[in-house]
Amino acid sequence: MKIYLVTGGAGFIGSHLVENLIQKHQVIVVDNFDDFYDYSIKLKNLQAATGVSAEIKGDKWEDIECFAQKDIPNFKLYTANIVDRDSIFKIFENHHIDAVIHLAALAGVRPSIQQPLRYEEVNVKGSLNIFEALKNFKVKKLLFASSSSVYGNNAKTPFAESDPVDFSISPYAATKKSGEILAHVYHHLHEIDMLLLRFFTVYGPRQRPDLAIHKFTNLIENGEQIPFYGDGSTARDYTYIDDIIQGILKALDYIEKNENVYETLNLGENQVVKLSEMLASIEATLGKKALLNHLPMQPGDVNLTNADIRKAKKLIGYAPTTDFSTGIQKFVDWYRKNNIFFKP
């Protein structure tokens, strides 16, 4: 049985990964339950991932501690911030970790423009603490969660891993690129095998409530206005959560079976959906029309994302299977069962 450490393991992507890994492996989750959104959402994520319930009473740290102390097979939760080097090192001291899946980060393009120094501290310094722990405790396998945002307004489509990523248009994107560069330093100096995974607009059950698909669904369902930025022509390569998890698991299998690995991989669907089309799909699935509050484009938002996934297909056998309309139906089904817990 392998021991995997998942940073950000109580989040949207992290909890789905934990749910898969604990079937066969021991999983250590590190999450600081940041106030970016309601901590109880992350507890619900972990309950769904582990199959273990815990009453949420409304006292943040008491609720988290109550869950962390539960005896859950193959699962251990640490409430820790990746910026806190001593806490991270202590976790590595306590466990013989086989590989790290580093998902933890401050997310969001627009908030990063308002708080660039905080994003730098968490996404860059925090990642450095993880890399230092890998070095010091001789852990040789790492998956690093990057983002399609590193491509900026790339003129060439679809975006390939060999394309330049020198023109970030948000602090968030810049911190993700910085993490990739620092990862290579540790691969080169300390022979740590790494796969850098650039995620393209992930959606599905447990999606963060501030993200567009979840936010639009909630507002339409409740008859409230949607903040609709631009003319609807911006487009994204939306990637369903099951396909992302498939990609992570295949990447983990690849990195464990190979030595001297350092690669960057796009994980997307290779399908582009316009904002107007995304809205129409949610409306059709809900059977309700949206009320739009038209607003100008926001600084930091890219015009389009589109993943070239040929490298991921060839290297790790990545094969996304969920078309957008099916993914939206699955998300709406989940939302209508769980929306009491998930508010934007």
Q: Does residue 218 lie within any of the structural domains?
A: no
Catalytic residue, from 39, 78, 119, 172: name it. 172
Sequence-ordered list of residues with C-beta below 8 angstroms from that of 191, at least 6 positions apart, any chain:
140, 260
| Amino acid present at 263 | E
When mean pLDDT is compared across 104-108, 184-188, 234-238, 339-343, the lowest value belongs to 339-343
CA–centroid distance for 166 within its chain: 22
Q: Does residue 298 lie within any of the structural domains?
A: no
Q: Does residue 286 lie within any of the structural domains?
A: no
> What are the structure tokens assigned to 201, written together?
């607009």
Q: Does residue 100 lie within any of the structural domains?
A: yes
User: b/e per residue, 295-326, with b = 16+ CB within 10 A?
Assistant: eeeeebebebbbbbbebbeebbebebebebee
In this structure, the strands spanning 239-240 and 202-203 are parallel
pLDDT, position 343: 47
User: b/e per residue, 113-123, with b = 16+ CB within 10 A?
Assistant: beeeeebbbbb
pLDDT, position 340: 52
Q: Does residue 273 lie within any of the structural domains?
A: no
Q: Does residue 256 lie within any of the structural domains?
A: yes
- Does the pLDDT at position 170 exceed 50? yes
Distance CA 287, CA 22 (A): 37
If you average pLDDT over residues 77-95, what whole number do you get? 97
The model carries a pTM of 0.96
Q: Give, for 30, the enclosing helix (H) or strand (E).
A: strand 26-31
Task: Identify the domain containing residue 311 by its residue range.
Answer: 3-202+241-268+305-320
Is 172 labeled as catalytic in the residue annotation? yes
pLDDT, position 54: 81
- Does the pLDDT at position 326 exceed 80? yes
Q: Nearest-CA neighbor of 183 among 119, 246, 126?
A: 126
If you average pLDDT over residues 207-216, what whole number do you get? 94
Question: Taking all residues of the chain, what is their mean pLDDT, rounded to a whole number?
Answer: 95
Q: How confident is the model at residue 213 (pLDDT cuts 50, 70, 90)?
A: very high
pLDDT, position 297: 86
If you average pLDDT over residues 27-56, what whole number do you get? 94
Sign of CA dihedral 34, 39, 43, 48: negative
Q: How far apart are the first and last CA of the chain?
A: 38
Instruction: Give me the CATH number covering residue 39.
Output: 3.40.50.720
Greater confidence (155 vs 102) lies with 102
If you average pLDDT over residues 332-341, what whole number do you get? 82
Q: Nearest-CA neighbor of 325 among 268, 277, 270?
A: 277
pLDDT, position 298: 85
Q: How confident is the model at residue 342 (pLDDT cuts 50, 70, 90)?
A: very low
- Does the pLDDT at position 173 exceed 60? yes
73-84 per-position pLDDT tens digit: 999 999 999 999
Distance CA 168, CA 151 (A): 7
| Count of the separate structural domains present in the chain | 1
Share of the chain above pLDDT 70, in %: 98
Q: Does residue 228 lie within any of the structural domains?
A: no
Q: How far, CA to CA in Å, does 101 sit from each of 7, 76, 130, 147?
A: 6, 15, 10, 15
Q: Does residue 281 lie within any of the structural domains?
A: no
When mean pLDDT is compared across 90-99, 231-240, 331-340, the lowest value belongs to 331-340
